[in-house]
Amino acid sequence: MKRVILSTFVLFILLTACNRPQGMPTENVGERQAMPVIFPDYTEVTIPYNIAPLNFRIEGEKENVYVHVSGNITGETVVFEGKASIRFNEKKWKRLLAGNKGGWLTVAVYTEEKAAWNRWQPFRIYISDKAIDSHLAYRLIEPGYKKWHIMGLYQRDLTSFREKTIIRNDMVGYNCINCHSFCGGDPEQMMFHMRAANGGTYILQGGEIEKLYTKTDKTISHLTYPYWHPSGRYITASVNDIKQFFHAVKEKKIEVFDLESDVVVYDIAKREILSGASLITRDAFETFPSFSADGQWLYFCSAPAKKMPDHYAEVRYNLCRVAFDAEKGEIRMPVDTLVRADSLSASFPRISPNGRFMMYTETAYGQFPIWHTDAEIRMIDLENNQAVDMTALNSSDTESYHSWSSNSHWVVVSSRRDNGLYTLPYLCHIGVDGQPAKPFLMPQKDPDYYDHQLYSYNLPELIQGEITTSPYKIQRSALKDKAIPLH
Amino acid sequence: MSDRKTTHKRRIDYLQGVLFIAGSFLFIQVNYRYWYHFMEQYVLFRTTPFYFFGLLSQPGGFNAYLSEFLMQSFYFPLGAASVIALLFGGVAFLYYLFLRRIQREVSLFGALLPVFLFWLFPVETLAPLLALVFAFSSVLLYTSIPKKNLRYLVGILLIGVNYFLAAPAHLELAILIGIFEWVKGEKGKVWIALVAIGWSVLLPVLAMHTVYVIPLREAYLSKHLYHPEYPIPYAFWLIGLAFPVGAILLYGLRKKAGGGGKVKAVVSTGLLFVCMAIGIGWGKHPMEQAYRYDYYARQGQWQAIVTEAQRTGVHDKDALVYTHLALSRTGQFNEQFLQLPQIGEAGFIPQDPKSRLGLIEAAEVAWQLNHINSAQRFAFVGVLSSQRCIQPRLMMRLVETYLVNEEYKAAEKYITILESAPLYRSWARSQRRFLDPATAAETPWIAERRALRSVTDNNFDLTVNFSNALAFQLDDHPDNRAAFEYAMGYLLVRKDIPTFMHYMELLRDNGKAFPVVYQEAICLFFSTMKSDPEAFRSFPIDKEVYSRFISFVQSAQKVSPAILKQQYGDTYYYYAQFAPTLK
C-alpha cells in the first residue's frame, strides 16, 4: 500500500512539473519593441478553426521560450513552453480554437537569452469560423531538372499532423506519377497519371480503379493537365507535346514549353474523347483547362502558336472560356477571352466553388510558371469582372498552383517564398469580398521539418476527406491491369 | 578435450582471428580504400530527430542509422579499412560463438569462411554486416536461455525486434533459431523451428498492412542493404545462406573433424594466409584509378592527380576527365593535355551523364569552366538521383553555386542540412557568413566567379553540345582561362584548326601569351591550310618552336615512324598528322 501511495505521489509531482513552467519569468523581464521572428511566420495570419497546431520556432539562439496564448472570446490563457521551438498540446490547441472561433488568439512570446528574459510584442492569430477542407493531397517530388527519382502522392490531414501515402513510385517501378485531380474535392473521385513503367491514366471512382491508355490517333499525346466536370462524368485535359531546356544565365533555370497543345474533354462513361468538345487548332496552343463550378463553362488558356523553342519567351496565354453543354457533351462557340495576354501570360484558371471568383497564375511568358520567380496569383471577381488585389497573398518569389476549398473561403497556393527552390503549400483565407488574408505555411509537428525536407509540395489539392483507396490496391492495378485504350 | 589441447586450439583461433582482421584491413586499404571514400559521399549522417525518426520509421532503419554513423569513418584515410576489418572480425567471432552453441568442437577457421564472401562481393554500406551482428547477437541471447518456454517467447520477440530494427536480420535469426532447435532442442520440437521461420516470413506482410506502406521487397529485405532500384544481387542470398548452411555442414561433419589438431591448424592457417594474399594482391577494384582521382579531387589535391597520371598513365575515361580537370586546376593544361590518351569530347566532360561518378565529374568540370548553372544542375541531379537523395559533396557545390548566383535562401537551405551532419558542420558553418550579400560580394572566390558568369542566355548543354556551350562562354568572357583552355584543347584534339585559328586571332589581338601547343598548331595551319606569311608573322611564334616544326616537316618523309615519334611525339603537329581523328 505504501508503494502505491509513494508511486502516486511521485507521479503527481511529475505531472505537476510538466504542467507548470518552472522557469517562468516573473520579474526583470525586458520589453522588446518588435514582434518575435518566428518560423513559420504565423504572425497576424488568419486560420481555420479546424487547423492543426501552428507549431513554430523562434529564430536566433534562444535558451528557453514561453508562450502565453489567450483567446479574446473565452478569455482563457494557456502557457506553452519549449527550448527553441513551441509545440502546442493538440487538445489545448483545439480547445483554444473552438472557443475563440470568429475571434483571435493573442500570442505573447518570452525568450531567454544568456539568462536574461525578454517579452516580445504580442501578435495575433485570427480564427475564422469557416472550416478548411480536412485534407490536402499533393505530390512530393524533387524540384525539376528533367530527371526524377523518388516521388509519391500523399494526403495530409490538416486537422492533425497525419500524412498518409496515396501511392509512391517505389511501389510501381520508380515511374513518374503526376497530375492528380479530384472531382470537386471529392476524395472518392480522383485521377492521376503514371508515365514510363506501368504507364496509364488511373481513374478512381466508386471504389473501383480504371487504368486507361489515353493516347489516340486524333490527339498529340496522352491526357496531360486534367480537371473534372462537377458531374463526375467528364474530365477535361490538355494534350501537350512538352519539352524542356536549361538556361545559362543566373536569372533563369529551366524552361518548360509546349511544341503543340490542345484541349479535349474525356467522357468517363463512354471511354471516349468527345469530338464535339475538343479545342484542337493548329494556329493556337490551348492548355490548362478547367470547368466552372456549375459545369456550364470550360475555361482554358490559349496562345497564338509560335515556332518553339525559338520564340519561347514570346508565347503569352490568354484566359478564355467557352460554353459547355454537359447533356450533349459539346462546347458552344464563341470563345470569350476573359484575360487578354497583352504583356503577361496566364495559366491555371480555377473557379471558386461558389462561382464568384477566378483565380489564376500570371507570369511574363509561357504556361509553366513554377520556374518563373515573377509568377504571381491573380484573381478576378466574376460578378463585376474586376481584378481583386492579391498583394497580401503573393511574395517576391514564385507563386504558382492553387486549389480552392469546397466552401470557397480558403485556397492553398504553391509558393517558393521560403527558399526559392522547394515549393511549399501556403493556406490562405479568402474573404467574402475576395480579399486574401496573410497566408500561412501548412503546419508541421516539428517546426524544423521544412528545413530538412528535400521535396517540393507539387499540385496541392484541397479535398473534403480522406482517400480511402488503399495504396496496395492502386499498386495492384498498376502492376497487373492492362491499360484500356479509349474508343 | 584436455585443457592443454583447449589452450592450444584457442591460441590457433586467436592467431587466425588476428590474421583475418589484419588481412581484411589490408585488403580494403589496398584495393577498396578509394571506393569506400567514394561511397561515404552517398550517406549523410545527421544529428537531427528528422533524420533519426525518418530512418526508424522504416524496416531495418535503425541498422541503416548505425551503418551511416559508422560510414562517416570512410571519410578518413584508414577509416573504411579499420571499421570493415573489425566488423568482419566481429561477425566471424559472433558466428563462431553460435557454432559453439550447437557443437563444442569447432574452430574459428570454419566461422571465417562465410565472411570471406564479403571479400568476393564487397558491399557498398555496412548495413549487411551490421544486420548479421544483430542476428548473431540475438541468437546468442536466445540460445543462452535454458528455460524452454521463456526462450521461445524471447525468440518470437527477438525476431520482431530484429525485423523492425535491422531487417532482414530477422530472417537470418529465424533460420539460426531453427537450426539451434533442430540440433539441440528436444525431440518432437522441430515445430519450434518452423514457427520461428514462419513468424519471420509472416511478420513483414503483417507490417505492410499495419505499420508501413512499402513494396513487398522492401518489407522483407529493407531498402538499406542493397540498392532498392536494382535487382537483388545474388551475393545477398549467397552471403545470407552461407552462415546457416555453414553451421549445418560443420554440425554434420563434427564426427569427422576429430584428430590431427596440429596438422589441421597449420593447414588451415596456411590456407587462410594464401587466400588472403591472393585477395590482397589481385582483388583490386576495376575502377580504382577513377575513384582514387575522385578522392584527390574532393580533397583538392589536384597536383596528386597530375603526378599519378604521369607516373602510371591514365586507364579509363573517368580518370581522363579528372586528369584534364587537374591540369586545368594546376595551370598545366596547355603543356600536358596532348600527352594524355585523348578520346574526344568524353575525355573532357562525361556525355549526358547518369552515373554517380559522371554527374560528379560533370559538376566539377562545369564549375571549373564557370558554367554555374550547369554545375548547379549536375550537382542537383547528382543529389536527387542518389539512392538516399543526398550527396554532401554535391550539396556543398550547390551551396557554392547558389552563393555565386545570389540565391541566398536556397544556399541557406543546404547549409542548414549540412550543419546537421558532424562531418560537414564545420564547412557549412564557415559558409554561413556568405549569406550576407555584402560579405559575399567582397569574397574573392565568389566575386571572381560572378565576374565570369554567363551573360548571353543559351540552351546548350555542356555534356551534349560541349563546343557550342563553350563558344557562348568565350563570347561572353574571352578571359575565362579554364574555358579557353578547354575549348582550345577540344578543338585541337578534334583537329578543327580553322575554328581554333579564330580564337588565336582574338588571343593575338588581346596581346596574350601563346603556349607552345598553340604555336605548333599555328605553324601547322599556315604550312598546310593557308599560305599567308604576313598573317603568320603576326603571331608570336618562338624561334625554337618554328625551327623544330621546320625540322619535322623536312624529316617527316625521311625517317622511320618510330624515330619520328621519338623526336616529335610530344608536338601538336605530330598528333595532327598521325593520331587518328576523333569524332
pLDDT digits (tens, 9 = 90+) for A406-437: 999 999 999 999 999 999 999 999 999 999 99
Residue closest to B344 by CA, chosen among B370, B379, B309, B320: B320
Mutation for testing the A interface, residue in B213, B389, B470 having most A CBs under 10 Å = B213
If pLDDT is split at 50, 70 and 90, which confidence band does B184 have?
confident
Rounded CA-CA distance A262/A288 in Å is 9
Helix and strand counts by DSSP (H, E) for chain A:
4, 35
Q: Is A168 a residue whose pLDDT tops 70?
A: yes
Architecture of the domain delimited by A28-128: Sandwich (2.60)
Q: Is A4 a residue whose pLDDT tops 80?
A: no
* Alpha carbon separation from B267 to B272, B276, B523 (Å, rounded): 8, 14, 70
Inter-chain residue contact A419 with B409, CB threshold 8 Å: yes
Residue-averaged pLDDT of chain A? 92
Rounded CA-CA distance B360/B334 in Å is 24
Inter-chain residue contact A145 with B384, CB threshold 8 Å: yes
Contacts of B229 in chain A (CB under 8 A): 170, 174
If pLDDT is split at 50, 70 and 90, which confidence band does A145 have?
low
Range scoring the smallest mean pLDDT among A43-52, B64-73, B129-138, B561-570: B561-570
Rounded CA-CA distance A270/A279 in Å is 19
pLDDT digits (tens, 9 = 90+) for A207-256: 999 999 999 998 999 999 999 999 999 999 999 999 999 999 988 889 99
pLDDT digits (tens, 9 = 90+) for B194-240: 999 999 999 999 999 999 999 999 999 999 999 888 999 999 999 99
Residue-averaged pLDDT of chain B? 93
B229 in A contact zone (CB under 8 Å): yes
Cβ within 8 Å of A, B 429-488: 453-461, 469, 472
Report yes or no: B436 and B449 within 8 Å, Cβ to Cβ.
Answer: no
**Alpha-carbon gap: A131 to the closest alpha carbon of chain B (Å):** 30
Cα Rg, chain A, nearest whole Å: 25
If pLDDT is split at 50, 70 and 90, which confidence band does A17 have?
very low
Inter-chain residue contact B384 with A142, CB threshold 8 Å: yes
Hey, CA dihedral for B218, B221, B224, B229, is it positive or negative? negative
Indicate the residue type of B116. F
- Side-chain half-sphere of A25: how many Cα atoms within 13 Å? 23
B146 in A contact zone (CB under 8 Å): no
C-alpha cell at A232: 463526375
Among partner residues B49, B373, B407, which is closest to A247 by beta-carbon distance?
Answer: B373
Instruction: Map out the domains of chain A as residue ranges.
Output: 28-128, 135-485
B331: left (phi over 0), alpha (psi -120 to 50) or beta: left
Per-residue confidence (pLDDT) for residue A12, from 0 to 100 = 47
Q: Phi, psi at residue B528, to the nearest 5°?
A: -115, -25
Q: Cell 569574397 belongs to which residue?
A: B443
C-alpha cell at A175: 515511374
If pLDDT is split at 50, 70 and 90, which confidence band does B260 have?
low
**Alpha-carbon gap: A253 to the closest alpha carbon of chain B (Å):** 7
pLDDT digits (tens, 9 = 90+) for B155-167: 999 999 999 999 9
Q: Is A291 exposed, middle or buried (0-12, 13-18, 19+ CB in 10 A)?
A: buried
Rounded CA-CA distance B308/B3 in Å is 55
Looking at chain B, which residue has its C-alpha nearest residue A168?
B214
Helix and strand counts by DSSP (H, E) for chain B:
34, 0
**Alpha-carbon gap: B241 to the closest alpha carbon of chain A (Å):** 27
Mutation for testing the B interface, residue in A419, A469, A479 having most B CBs under 10 Å = A419
Q: Is B6 a residue whose pLDDT tops 80?
A: no
If pLDDT is split at 50, 70 and 90, which confidence band does B580 have?
confident
The mean per-residue pLDDT over the stretch B182-192 comes to: 78
Per-residue confidence (pLDDT) for residue A15, from 0 to 100 = 45
End-to-end CA, chain B: 74
A150 in B contact zone (CB under 8 Å): yes
State the DSSP code for A201: E
Give ipTM to 2 decimals.
0.92
pLDDT digits (tens, 9 = 90+) for A439-483: 999 999 999 999 999 999 999 999 999 999 999 999 999 999 999
The mean per-residue pLDDT over the stretch A177-185 comes to: 95
Q: How far is CA A355 from the centre of its chain?
A: 20
A480 in B contact zone (CB under 8 Å): no
Rounded CA-CA distance A212/A228 in Å is 16
C-alpha cell at B497: 584548326
Per-residue confidence (pLDDT) for residue B2, from 0 to 100 = 63
B47 in A contact zone (CB under 8 Å): no
Q: Phi, psi at residue A301, to the nearest 5°?
A: -105, 140
**Alpha-carbon gap: A245 to the closest alpha carbon of chain B (Å):** 6
B59: left (phi over 0), alpha (psi -120 to 50) or beta: beta
Q: Is B258 a residue whose pLDDT tops 70?
A: no
pLDDT digits (tens, 9 = 90+) for A286-319: 999 999 999 999 999 999 999 998 999 999 999 9
A249 in B contact zone (CB under 8 Å): yes
Mutation for testing the A interface, residue in B395, B403, B418, B459 having most A CBs under 10 Å = B459
If pLDDT is split at 50, 70 and 90, which confidence band does A16 have?
very low
| A135-141 vs A151-157, strand pairing mode | antiparallel
Inter-chain residue contact B51 with A452, CB threshold 8 Å: yes
C-alpha cell at A259: 511544341
Report yes or no: B59 and B167 within 8 Å, Cβ to Cβ.
Answer: yes
Per-residue confidence (pLDDT) for residue A5, from 0 to 100 = 52
Report yes or no: A289 and A280 within 8 Å, Cβ to Cβ.
Answer: no
Contacts of B51 in chain A (CB under 8 A): 452
Among partner residues A253, A309, A449, which is closest to B50 by beta-carbon distance?
Answer: A449
Inter-chain residue contact A248 with B374, CB threshold 8 Å: yes
Residue closest to A296 by CA, chosen among A211, A250, A221, A236: A236
Rounded CA-CA distance B358/B348 in Å is 11
Contacts of A253 in chain B (CB under 8 A): 373, 377
Q: Is B177 a residue whose pLDDT tops 80?
A: yes
Report yes or no: B63 and B127 within 8 Å, Cβ to Cβ.
Answer: yes
C-alpha cell at A328: 450533349
Indicate the residue type of B23. G
Cα Rg, chain B, nearest whole Å: 31
Per-residue confidence (pLDDT) for residue B444, from 0 to 100 = 97
- Side-chain half-sphere of A420: how many Cα atoms within 13 Å? 18
> In degrees, to the nearest 5, what angle opens at C-alpha A188 toward C-alphas A187 and A194?
85
Per-residue confidence (pLDDT) for residue A113, from 0 to 100 = 86
pLDDT digits (tens, 9 = 90+) for B271-312: 999 999 999 998 888 899 999 999 999 999 999 999 999 999
pLDDT digits (tens, 9 = 90+) for A30-89: 889 999 999 999 999 999 999 999 999 999 877 889 999 999 999 999 999 998 899 999
A142 in B contact zone (CB under 8 Å): yes
B372 in A contact zone (CB under 8 Å): yes
pLDDT digits (tens, 9 = 90+) for B530-573: 888 888 989 999 999 999 999 999 888 888 888 988 999 999 99
Rounded CA-CA distance B532/B530 in Å is 6
C-alpha cell at A54: 501552428
Number of C-beta neighbours around residue B505 at 10 A:
12
Per-residue confidence (pLDDT) for residue B58, from 0 to 100 = 95
Torsion angle of C-alpha atoms A247, A252, A256, A262, degrees rounded to 10: -130
If pLDDT is split at 50, 70 and 90, which confidence band does A18 have?
very low
Inter-chain residue contact B229 with A174, CB threshold 8 Å: yes
Per-residue confidence (pLDDT) for residue B165, from 0 to 100 = 97
For residue A56, the SS3 value is strand
Inter-chain residue contact A245 with B459, CB threshold 8 Å: yes
Report yes or no: A270 and A487 within 8 Å, Cβ to Cβ.
Answer: yes
Asked if residue B244 has a cis previous peptide bond (ω within 30° of 0), the answer is: no
Rounded CA-CA distance A402/A410 in Å is 10
Q: Phi, psi at residue A151, to the nearest 5°?
A: -155, 165
pLDDT digits (tens, 9 = 90+) for A379-402: 999 999 999 999 999 999 999 999
Number of C-beta neighbours around residue B14 at 10 A:
11
Rounded CA-CA distance A480/A198 in Å is 9
If pLDDT is split at 50, 70 and 90, which confidence band does A20 have?
very low
B379 in A contact zone (CB under 8 Å): no
Q: Is A487 a residue whose pLDDT tops 90?
A: no
Q: Cell 486534367 belongs to which residue?
A: A226
B274 in A contact zone (CB under 8 Å): no
Hey, CA dihedral for B141, B143, B146, B151, is it positive or negative? positive
pLDDT digits (tens, 9 = 90+) for A321-359: 999 999 999 999 999 999 999 889 999 999 999 999 999
Right CATH number for A135-485 from 2.120.10.30, 3.90.1300.10, 3.40.50.2300, 3.30.230.10? Answer: 2.120.10.30
Mutation for testing the B interface, residue in A176, A246, A312, A470 having most B CBs under 10 Å = A246
If pLDDT is split at 50, 70 and 90, which confidence band does B1 have?
low
Residue closest to B28 by CA, chosen among B82, B89, B107: B82
Q: Is B254 a residue whose pLDDT tops 50?
A: yes
Helix (H) or strand (E) holding B534: helix B533-537
* Alpha carbon separation from A226 to A151, A265, B73, B349 (Å, rounded): 19, 9, 50, 40
Q: Is B183 a residue whose pLDDT tops 90?
A: no
Query: CB within 8 A of B84, min separation 6: which ones?
Result: B24, B28, B36, B126, B129
Number of C-beta neighbours around residue A477 at 10 A:
21
